[in-house]
Amino acid sequence: MLGTLRKMRTEKNEPVSYFLPLGDVSVPLAPFLGKTLHLRYQGNIFCTACGRKTSKSYNQGHCFVCFKKLAACDMCILKPETCHFAAGTCREPEWAEAHCNIPHIVYLANSSGLKVGITRETQVPIRWMDQGATQALPIFRVATRYQSGLVEVALAQHIADKTNWQALLKGESAPVDLAAARDDLMTRCADELAALQQRFPEQIQALPAAQAESFRYPVLEYPQKIRSFNLDQDPDVSGTLLGIKGQYLLFDTGVINIRKFTAYQVELLTV
């Protein structure tokens, strides 16, 4: 089976269901747990935006031209508090209206430990499964991505805002009382949050009644040591598939972040 990779698609089940997109085909991965799986990179990368062949992937699957011109590749996607639209310098205002100036959720998650994060409201709970979170709790609903970034920055003074991917793949995090963590953060950041709510009246809404969600991942065994596969250095990834968590395939021979290799053309072989 041959096609270009995209990030794995998830469905919230018990455990989470995973599907590997290869071009126009979406391959269910649960049947391959405990079996040998091969991913062979064919040496081709096709830009996710324009489709042209590129010798190098920029920003998870873009050619250099699209990387330089598309708002989706701007740094403010990673740091929304630096939003170009809010500053009046967005390269694609219409794109921003459709993707950034829409409701976002600020949340707490337990992945490699407690962290704060943001996502479009339409990406709940997909974003949490993409991160490999075992627990997640929405704490704010805001009107724009820019506002979500400002709230996240305030909260990140007291809590991590990134996942430790190696810890994520070594096992399950200990359960966390997310409601108690939320209440503690609200107290610690009361002044900063009040200032933001005054700056954006009725656009930053706390979600005190929100319920936490939990997730279990299809993992037979976690690796003792983390060895990361890189298709640019070794085009042949193979081994017994021991699990799937976040956007990672866990083999007995190493792990691979599928999202990192978006737009890479690979052949999937099974035994």
What is the DSSP annotation of 129-175?
HHHT-SEEEEEEEESSHHHHHHHHHHHTTTSB-S--HHHHTTSPPPP
Q: Report the interhelical angle of 145-155 vs 190-199 (nearest 10°).
A: 160
Across residues 51-72, what is the average pLDDT?
95
Q: Given a cut of 80, is residue 31 above it in pLDDT?
A: yes
Total-model pTM: 0.94
Q: How many CB atoms lie within 10 A of CB 211?
A: 9
CA-closest candidate to residue 243, choices 164, 172, 162: 172
- CA–CA separation, 30 vs 257, rounded Å? 17
The band of 114, judged by pLDDT with boundaries at 50, 70 and 90, is very high
Using alpha carbons, select from 25, 210, 17 the residue that is nearest to residue 105. Answer: 210
Residue 224: band (very low, low, confident or very high) from pLDDT cuts 50, 70, 90: confident
Task: Please report the pLDDT score of residue 8 as a whole number.
Answer: 97
- Residues 268, 27 contacting (CB under 8 angstroms): yes
Q: What is the mean pLDDT of residues 27-46?
A: 96
- Two structure tokens written together for 227: 């060895």
- Residues 6+ positions from 120 with CB-CB distance below 8 Å: 99, 102, 103, 104, 105, 127, 145
Residue 12: pLDDT band (50, 70, 90) is: very high
User: Mean pLDDT across the chain, nearest whole number?
Assistant: 95
DSSP state of 271: -
pLDDT band at 18 (very low <50, low <70, confident <90, very high): very high
Give percent above pLDDT 70 in the chain.
100
- What is residue 270's predicted lDDT score, i.e. its pLDDT? 84
Q: Where are the domains of the chain?
A: 2-48+218-270, 102-214
Mean pLDDT calculated for residue range 84-104: 93
pLDDT of residue 181: 97
Q: At what angle do helices 178-188 and 190-199 cross, to 10 degrees?
A: 80
What gap in Å lies between CA 265 and CA 70, rounded to an integer? 22
**Res 9: pLDDT:** 97
CB neighbour burial string for 133-171, b if at least 16 within 10 angstroms, e if fewer: bbbbbbbbbbbbbbbbbbbbbbbbeebeeebebeebbee
pLDDT value at 1 more than 90: no
What is the average pLDDT across 208-222? 97
When pLDDT is averaged across residues 226-230 and rounded to a whole number, the result is 94
Asked whether the predicted pLDDT for residue 271 surpasses 90, the reply is no
Amino acid at 247: Q
pLDDT band at 101 (very low <50, low <70, confident <90, very high): very high
Q: For 7-34, what is the HEC assignment?
A: CCEEECCCCCEEEEEECCEEEECHHHCC
